[in-house]
DNA sequence: CTGAAAGCGCTTACAG
DNA sequence: CTGAAAGCGCTTACAG
């Protein structure tokens, strides 16, 4: 760590003194509003040069306080360490900066208490907008922000008090399930697939389940309740669920719908245990994408959520001002691993 | 987006008026310093209750301005979307919050210009510390921050103007290479492995290369210069480098040292092309870890960098005040995929 | 036990 | 063309 050499940082007043002018003028020059104020170009250049020489850095806190606008856009996010959420964070940052906003992303581990605490923190830092990604209780956060006059937008999981940009989970899941069932029925009698991962209580899982069932119904198939394992998102939960399924004496279906790469990790680990069946006999589909997972299982189909389009849509909502509360669904993109 | 219902947010003055007291007292109560000021417990409770009723949210910008302390710790990070960096971001956030700091992480895509711009932005928002992760020119950033009196710490890549916490790249790479060479020489004459990925100009790649060569030397082996492919980190670069290597007529070695999971992605894609050799014949080692990659290749060894220890060390440096400039190396942890 | 006042660094009407 | 003044919301010596 380098030591503080200058106790106090350079301010507009320091620059004003050095330039033989006033703080008002310095501020106007530095903000580019000097033309509007009809400040002479000579003085403007002079001030600019001095600011550079002094390595002047604007104090955004002070500006924000005065302007009552921080220029900050906040995002709460369940976690960074899977490809879906990390690409959301990365794309969000890029797009925010491209629009002159300063992005602050905060991880909340799918914990409602942390989500609320993070939202409070971001409000204290005067965010101008808050994006709630995969929030367990987005409406609670919308209410909190609304009381502070801060607009919110939901991403990934919808809410009822703010516009929501989410994947088209129903259509995506139906398409994915069709593919799984078709592959599983090659050289075998058609039979229901297994659904694993996610929370039965969350909107996306419910919609994907609906798509899963719709694809079955098209083929005159009907999964039993025990073939729906909404065991949560954690990898270990998925592995445990599979063990329980087999321990209960159920035969493993040929088709497997995995609801997120997080669950997929647990599923594949389970199949790699010495006494597990061969993964090669299973027709796999996964809602969400990961480049290594895609290469891991021949013929796996992964529904890549279209993060780019989702975030472009989100920023369009922000830019258009105060849009009505509605839900926009963005189709995910199917990607297929090398066929077996 | 929900509409701003209240134009102005509640301030300490509003609370003071409602509580029939002064802003000074409200501030003291809300800060928990009311005992020191010997404010009556009755009044303290009264103020607290009113603040809650009004849903009062502190304006951190104003506090930071007055206190000349923001409570913010910044981090610049090359990217989110691989497991090493995303776990750094996640662990950093958790640890910062646990220490009462507000973390702001910013992606800079290994671009020196973006790194500098991000550092400037974070300085404008008055960060108290800046962590430079994998920065291409950490000293430049240290100088910039030093001028503003902000201490920096380097993570992942070292610099000379601030303490640096990095992986023990030499030892880790030597160990990884030993393993690759040992596996490659089973049932075959010992021969040098191929090194692929990374930048020849960065410290970590140089150190890993040194470990790679040391392990060879122990066995009396000596890789040819054309067997060192420091082609950059991008996945496509690694694939191109392999194509070039083969096109030049070089036989593919049995052992392969891949310098990062990003490069590994390209390497595996290349091996999966129809006319490529069989990956099963290759003994693979990778510096960095990814759970799916670990499961992808039987017997692959992955050096997982010890993010937890690195960040614990980093925060210890911050907490001890102004430590001398030095380099701390944290050993990575070898993880082995299921043996072939 | 408590309040009035000053000031953090900026910006913005306002007045010349 | 430019400057003095006020004020954003907070905290902190200081004075009672």
Minimal C-alpha gap between B47 and chain A (Å): 19
Query: A47 and A15 in contact (C-beta within 8 Å)?
Result: yes
**Residue B103 and residue A26: Cα distance in Å, rounded?**
31
Q: Which of the four pLDDT bands, split at 50, 70 and 90, describes residue A211? A: very high
Q: CB contact, 8 Å: B7 with chain A?
A: yes
What pLDDT score was predicted for residue A127? 96
Tokens of B56: 């009062």
Our CA angle for B182, B184, B185, nearest 5°, is: 70
pLDDT digits (tens, 9 = 90+) for A95-130: 999 999 999 999 999 999 999 999 999 999 999 999
Q: What chain A residue is nearest to B106 in terms of C-alpha separation?
A: A93
pLDDT digits (tens, 9 = 90+) for B111-158: 999 999 999 999 999 999 999 999 999 999 999 999 889 999 999 999
Q: What is the DSSP string of B309-336?
A: HHHHHHHHHHHTSSPPS-EEEE--EEEE
Residue A219 CB contacts under 8 Å (≥ 6 apart), including other chains: A181, A190
Choose among B192, B191, B188: nearest CA to B212.
B192
Query: B262 and B82 in contact (C-beta within 8 Å)?
Result: yes
What pLDDT score was predicted for residue B41? 83
DSSP annotation of A229: E
pLDDT at B242 over 60: yes
DSSP annotation of B250: P
Q: What chain A residue is nearest to B80 in terms of C-alpha separation?
A: A86
Residue B169 CB contacts under 8 Å (≥ 6 apart), including other chains: B203, B204, B207, B208, B211, B287, B329
Of the three residues B162, B196, B218, the one that is the final residue of a domain is: B162
Choose among B15, B294, B3: nearest CA to A151.
B3
Partnered with residue A131 across adjacent β-strands are A75, A153
Which residues between 51 and 90 in chain B have a beta carbon less than 8 angstroms from any beta carbon of chain A? 55, 57-62, 64-65, 70, 79-83, 86-87, 89-90
**Residue B117 and residue B137: Cα distance in Å, rounded?**
13
Nearest nucleotide to A126 (CA to C1') is D9
Pairing mode, if any, of strands A231-232 and A198-199? Answer: antiparallel
Q: What chain B residue is nearest to A144 in terms of C-alpha separation?
A: B55
Query: What CATH number did the domain enclosing B22 receive?
Result: 1.10.260
Query: A284 and A256 in contact (C-beta within 8 Å)?
Result: yes
Q: CB contact, 8 Å: B104 with chain A?
A: yes
Task: Decide if A288 is inside a domain.
Answer: yes
pLDDT digits (tens, 9 = 90+) for A226-240: 999 999 989 999 999
Q: Which of the four pLDDT bands, split at 50, 70 and 90, describes residue A5? A: very low
- Are B39 and B75 contained in the same domain? no
pLDDT at B258 over 90: yes
Tokens of B123: 């300085």
pLDDT (mean) for A15-36? 86
Query: A94 and A71 in contact (C-beta within 8 Å)?
Result: no
Minimal C-alpha gap between B123 and chain A (Å): 7
Q: What chain A residue is nearest to B152 in terms of C-alpha separation?
A: A1
Task: Decide if A188 is inside a domain.
Answer: yes
Task: Decide if B187 is inside a domain.
Answer: yes
A69 in contact with nucleic chain D (CB within 7 A): no
B40 in contact with nucleic chain C (CB within 7 A): yes
- Are A205 and A218 contained in the same domain? yes
Residue from the list A3, A81, A162 with its beta carbon closest to the beta carbon of B90: A81
Residue A54 CB contacts under 8 Å (≥ 6 apart), including other chains: A10, A14, A15, A18
pLDDT (mean) for A242-267? 95
Residue B176 CB contacts under 8 Å (≥ 6 apart), including other chains: B211, B257, B285, B286, B287, B301, B303, B334
Q: What are phi and psi of A14, to 5 degrees?
A: -60, -45
Q: What are phi and psi of A182, to 5 degrees?
A: -65, -45
pLDDT digits (tens, 9 = 90+) for B200-238: 999 999 999 999 999 999 999 999 999 999 999 899 999
Residue B93 CB contacts under 8 Å (≥ 6 apart), including other chains: A106, A107, B103, B105
Least confidently predicted of A15-24, A65-74, A146-155, B98-107: A15-24
**Residue B119 and residue B151: Cα distance in Å, rounded?**
12
* Interface probe with A: pick from B3, B30, B78, B81, most Cβ of A within 10 Å: B81
- Are B155 and B181 contained in the same domain? no
Task: Decide if A75 is inside a domain.
Answer: yes
Query: B48 and B20 in contact (C-beta within 8 Å)?
Result: no
| Domain membership of residue B25 as a residue range | 12-58
Task: Decide if B1 is inside a domain.
Answer: no
Residue from the list A3, A86, A87 with its beta carbon closest to the beta carbon of B322: A3
Which residues between 235 and 274 in chain B have a beta carbon less than 8 angstroms from any beta carbon of chain A? 261, 265, 268-269, 272
pLDDT at A275 over 90: no
Query: A141 and A135 in contact (C-beta within 8 Å)?
Result: yes
CB contact under 8 A, A1 and B107: no
Minimal C-alpha gap between A50 and chain B (Å): 16
Query: B263 and B238 in contact (C-beta within 8 Å)?
Result: yes
Helix (H) / strand (E) element for B73: namely strand B72-77
B148 in contact with nucleic chain C (CB within 7 A): no
pLDDT at A321 over 80: no
Q: Which of the four pLDDT bands, split at 50, 70 and 90, describes residue B246? A: very high
**Residue B67 and residue B192: Cα distance in Å, rounded?**
60
Tokens of B111: 């671009």
**Residue A270 and residue A277: Cα distance in Å, rounded?**
9
pLDDT (mean) for B168-186? 96
- Are B153 and B174 contained in the same domain? no
Contacts of A325 in chain B (CB under 8 A): 1-2
Q: CB contact, 8 Å: B4 with chain A?
A: yes
What pLDDT score was predicted for residue B331? 98
Average pLDDT, chain B: 91
- Are B189 and B288 contained in the same domain? yes
Protein contacts on strand C: list nucleotides below 7 Å from a Cβ.
Answer: 1-5, 7-13
Partnered with residue B327 across adjacent β-strands are B164
Plot region of A109 (φ>0 → left; ψ -120 to 50 → alpha; else → beta): left
- Are A200 and A270 contained in the same domain? yes
What pLDDT score was predicted for residue B338? 66
- Are A103 and A252 contained in the same domain? no
D13 nearest neighbour residue (CA to C1'): B24
Residue A32: Cβ within 10 Å count: 9
Helix (H) / strand (E) element for B30: namely helix B23-30
pLDDT at A289 over 80: yes
- Are B33 and B100 contained in the same domain? no
Helix (H) / strand (E) element for B23: namely helix B23-30
Q: What chain A residue is nearest to B6 in terms of C-alpha separation?
A: A149
- Helix H segments across A149-284? 169-184, 203-218, 235-247, 261-271
Task: Decide if A63 is inside a domain.
Answer: no
Residue from the list A61, A65, A106 with its beta carbon closest to the beta carbon of B125: A61
Residue A195 CB contacts under 8 Å (≥ 6 apart), including other chains: A209, A212, A223, A227, A228, A229, A230, A257, A259
pLDDT (mean) for A313-334? 90
Between A21 and B196, residue with greater pLDDT: B196
Query: What CATH number did the domain enclosing A181 receive?
Result: 3.40.50.2300
Task: Decide if B5 is inside a domain.
Answer: no
CB contact under 8 A, B149 and A9: yes
Which residues between 144 and 163 in chain B have a beta carbon less than 8 angstroms from any beta carbon of chain A? 144-153, 161-163
Choose among B96, B95, B93, B79: nearest CA to A89.
B79
What pLDDT score was predicted for residue A237? 96
CB contact under 8 A, B1 and A151: yes
Task: Decide if A87 is inside a domain.
Answer: yes
pLDDT above 70 covers what percent of chain B?
96
Please count the structural domains in chain A.
3
pLDDT digits (tens, 9 = 90+) for B298-331: 789 999 999 999 999 999 999 987 778 899 999 9
Residue B85: Cβ within 10 Å count: 25
B22 in contact with nucleic chain C (CB within 7 A): yes
What pLDDT score was predicted for residue A4? 42
**Chain A 37-66 contacts with nucleic strand C (CB below 7 A):** 58-59, 62-63, 65-66
- Are B153 and B217 contained in the same domain? no
Q: CB contact, 8 Å: B122 with chain A?
A: no
- Helix H segments across chain A? 12-19, 23-31, 41-53, 60-67, 83-98, 112-124, 138-147, 169-184, 203-218, 235-247, 261-271, 291-296, 307-319
Instruction: Provide the CA A69 to C1' D1 distance, Å, integer.
Output: 29
**Residue A222 and residue A215: Cα distance in Å, rounded?**
10
Residue from the list B106, B149, B296 with its beta carbon closest to the beta carbon of A6: B149
Tracing tokens 């998925």 back to the chain, one arrives at A238
Q: Which of the four pLDDT bands, split at 50, 70 and 90, describes residue A338? A: low
How long, in residues, is chain A? 340
What pLDDT score was predicted for residue B340? 38
Query: B130 and B74 in contact (C-beta within 8 Å)?
Result: yes
Q: What chain B residue is nearest to A128 in terms of C-alpha separation?
A: B4
Protein contacts on strand D: list nucleotides below 7 Å from a Cβ.
Answer: 1-5, 7-13
Query: B250 and B225 in contact (C-beta within 8 Å)?
Result: no
Our CA angle for B30, B32, B37, nearest 5°, is: 105
* SS3 (DSSP) at B150: coil
Q: Which of the four pLDDT bands, split at 50, 70 and 90, describes residue B339? A: very low
Average pLDDT, chain A: 91
**Residue A151 and residue A147: Cα distance in Å, rounded?**
10
C7 nearest neighbour residue (CA to C1'): B66
**Residue B164 and residue B325: Cα distance in Å, rounded?**
8
pLDDT digits (tens, 9 = 90+) for B20-78: 898 889 999 988 777 777 788 888 888 999 998 888 999 999 999 999 899 999 999 99
Tokens of B171: 């030892």
CB contact under 8 A, A7 and B149: yes
- Are A91 and A188 contained in the same domain? no
DSSP annotation of A154: E
- Are A213 and A325 contained in the same domain? no
- Are A89 and A46 contained in the same domain? no
Show contacts of B17-20: CB within 8 Å, 24+ apart.
Answer: B18/B50, B18/B54, B19/B43, B19/B46, B19/B47, B19/B50
């Amino acid at each position: 760590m380098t030591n503080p050499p200058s106790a106090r940082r350079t301010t507009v007043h320091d620059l004003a003194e050095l330039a033989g002018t006033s703080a008002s003028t310095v501020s106007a020059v530095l903000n580019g509003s000097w033309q509007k104020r009809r400040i002479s170009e000579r003085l403007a250049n002079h001030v600019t040069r001095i600011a550079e020489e002094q390595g002047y850095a604007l104090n955004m806190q002070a500006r924000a306080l005065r302007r009552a606008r921080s220029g900050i856009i906040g995002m709460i996010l369940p976690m960074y360490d899977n490809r879906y959420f990390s690409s959301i964070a990365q794309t969000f940052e890029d797009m925010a900066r491209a629009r002159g906003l300063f992005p602050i992303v905060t991880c909340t581990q799918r914990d409602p208490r942390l989500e609320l605490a993070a939202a409070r923190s971001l409000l204290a830092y005067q965010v101008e907008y808050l994006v709630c990604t995969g929030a367990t209780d987005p409406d609670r956060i919308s209410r909190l922000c609304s009381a502070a006059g801060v607009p919110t937008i939901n991403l990934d999981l919808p809410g009822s008090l703010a516009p929501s940009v989410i994947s088209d989970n129903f259509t995506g899941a139906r398409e994915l399930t069709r593919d799984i069932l078709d592959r599983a029925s090659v050289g075998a009698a058609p039979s229901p697939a297994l659904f694993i991962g996610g929370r039965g209580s969350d909107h996306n899982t419910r919609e994907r389940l609906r798509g899963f069932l719709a694809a079955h119904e098209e083929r005159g198939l009907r999964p039993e309740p025990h073939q729906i394992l909404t065991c949560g998102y954690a990898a270990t939960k998925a592995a445990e669920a599979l063990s329980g399924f087999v321990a209960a004496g159920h035969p493993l279906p040929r088709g497997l719908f995995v609801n997120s790469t997080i669950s997929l990790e647990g599923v594949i680990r389970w199949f790699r245990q010495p006494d597990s069946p061969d993964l090669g006999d299973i027709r796999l589909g996964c809602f969400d994408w990961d480049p290594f997972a895609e290469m891991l299982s021949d013929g796996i189909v992964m529904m890549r959520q279209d993060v780019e389009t989702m975030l472009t849509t989100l920023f369009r909502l922000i830019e258009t001002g105060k849009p009505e509360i509605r839900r926009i669904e963005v189709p995910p993109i199917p990607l297929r691993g090398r066929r077996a």
